[in-house]
Structure 1
Amino acid sequence: MTLPRSASLSLLTLIAASLIAQSPQETNPRVRELIHELHLSVLPRESGYLGIIGVTPLQADVHGRSLSVQSQNYYMLTRALPINFLHRLEPADTHILIEGGPVDYYIFHPDGHVEKQTLGRDLAHGERPVIAVPPGCAKALVLRPGATYALTANTLSPEFTADRVTIGAGNDFITRYVNKAPWATREFLRQLIGPNAK
């Protein structure tokens, strides 16, 4: 079934609304301003704050299904919600730092290798203002100690749909990725999975 752009956007908004949870008490004035002005709400299970921007009108056929070529969101981590717990997306996911940070990205590729990238502005120390996560990868984000918040814009291509995301993981994930990097200890992988252990 092909949805017109307005219906696709409405569906995306309904999906986001179904994910809304009660916000924690944020004390930083700038964080409170961003939550209010950008209409950010807590993203259950994954954690952090999400704000839907929209989808492109251009559609593409994806495995016999018509999807928008891209969807866009705001996403924010704060001291109250400093971790975006492990999840896997089918679409490509590109994050662009708007302000704040840095944020460490732990990326788990389908072929079994892992990488850590840092979203930030300190280019001399390896940080980058844009991180592109390939389709099909699992990832978790952690706000660096000392950072108050990190506001990003992210684009997903093709668009996000709730049936193309997997949140959490089980022992098979840990066994597959443990010790693939110095940081990939069994204990740390469990922390990245957080409350979504299967």
Structure 2
Amino acid sequence: MNKNDLIEKLSLVEHIEGGYFSETYRSDLKIATDREGTERSLLTSIYYMLTDNRPIGYFHKNKSNIIHYFHAGSPLTYLILHPNGELNKLKLGFDVTKGHLFQLKVPGGCWKATVLEEGEFGLLGEAVAPGFDYRDMELAKADYFQSNFPDLWDELAPYIKK
């Protein structure tokens, strides 16, 4: 299968943070997530794919923890920036002899970017609990990163959506 076959078969559409996605599950079970009683689905899941023509999932952060599961294609590099400025680089993929991970938890409140560095595509799944809601996601802004992480700016700048 190639990227176009997967985009069609999995009904993927362009995602605002980069790449393509399709929501595959949204729990009917709801939970309150704040003092005001705002409800969210207990769990959501998506397919997410980066391709050679859309190779970057730009820096963003979510309130919820997200588990990423590698499914197919070339490995994907994750840049995870913790609130204290610690930067981790990890790879999701199938070659554990090269340090690849099959799954990865990104804690809520951390900035993350994902990059396809080689190959035609990298396909993964994500599970979010409590369930994903766009109100809980923030895309990175260059001025925030420049002022809060000046020592990392040159390294992080290519992964901030303009």
Do both proteins adopt the same fold according to a TM-score greater than 0.5, normalized to the shorter chain? Answer: yes
**Residue type matched to 2:157 in 1?**
R
Give 5+ residue unaligned stretches, structure 1: 1-28
Q: Which has the higher helix share?
A: 1
Residue matched to 1:57? 28
Work out which of the residue numbers 127, 139, 146 in structure 2 matches 1:155. 127
**Residue type matched to 2:66 in 1?**
D
**Residue type matched to 1:102 in 2?**
P
Work out which of the residue numbers 41, 66, 84 in structure 2 matches 1:111. 84
Residue matched to 2:159? 192
Q: Do 1:86 and 1:193's aligned partners in 2 also have CA atoms closer than 8 Å?
A: yes
1:143 equivalent in alignment to 2:116: yes
Q: Do 1:174 and 1:189's aligned partners in 2 also have CA atoms closer than 8 Å?
A: no
**Residue type matched to 1:100 in 2?**
G
1:170 equivalent in alignment to 2:142: yes
Give the secondary structure class of the aligned counterpart of 2:58. strand
Cα deviation, residue 110, structure 1 = 1.7
For residues 119-174 of structure 1, the C-alpha deviation after alignment (integer angstroms, 9 at most, x for no partner) is 011112211011110011110001022x2211111011111111111112233323
Residue matched to 2:18? 47
Cα deviation, residue 178, structure 1 = 4.1
RMSD: 1.4
Work out which of the residue numbers 59, 65, 83 in structure 1 matches 2:56. 83
Work out which of the two has the higher radius of gyration on C-alpha atoms and give 1 or 2: 1
Q: Identity over aligned residues, as a percent?
A: 28
The ranges of structure 1 where at least 4 consecutive aligned residues each deviate by more than 6 angstroms after the TM superposition are: none
**Residue type matched to 1:55 in 2?**
R
Give the secondary structure class of the aligned counterpart of 1:135. coil
Work out which of the residue numbers 27, 31, 40 in structure 2 matches 1:67. 40
Q: Equivalents in 1 of 2:50, 2:150: separation in Å?
A: 26
TM-score by length of 1: 0.76
Between 1 and 2, higher relative CO (CA 8 Å, sep ≥ 6) is seen in 2
Give the secondary structure class of the aligned counterpart of 1:131. strand
TM-score by length of 2: 0.92
Q: Which has the higher strand share?
A: 2
Counting matched residue pairs gives 160
For residues 94-119 of structure 1, the C-alpha deviation after alignment (integer angstroms, 9 at most, x for no partner) is 11011012111000112321211110
Q: Do 2:2 and 2:120's aligned partners in 1 also have CA atoms closer than 8 Å?
A: no
Give 5+ residue unaligned stretches, structure 2: none
